[in-house]
Amino acid sequence: MTDADADEILDDLFHVIEQRKADLPEDSYTASLFTHEKGENAVLEKLGEETTELILAAKDDDHEEIAHESADIVYHLLVLLAMQDMDVADLRDELAERR
């Protein structure tokens, strides 16, 4: 996978998240995060939960689970960015500054 492919995956995923935020389909887990009674706290709790699961997977040296939990963290991070009216570009810009 090239860097361009990875960028496209993140951009596509963020676009879907933004669409679910706008359309709020009833059968969408993503949409449910935007309408959850806990509000943003629901996503923050998921980020904490997924981070704990990632730490445990790393402790167990379980590469498959590390990849799975890392993807969960990235997904929930993108949802949080959308909730904050931010964009993947904001994340890329910050990472570029740290290069």
What letter would DSSP give residue 2?
Answer: -
pTM: 0.92
Residue that is written with structure tokens 């935007």 in the block: 34
Dump pLDDT digits (tens) for 52-76.
Answer: 999 999 999 999 999 999 999 999 9
Tell me if residue 72 falls in helix, strand or coil.
Answer: helix
Contact 33, 79 (CB under 8 A): yes
Residue that is written with structure tokens 């596509």 in the block: 12
In one-letter notation, the amino acid at residue 78 is L
3 pLDDT exceeds 80? no
| Domains of the chain: residue spans and CATH | 3-97 (1.10.287.1080)
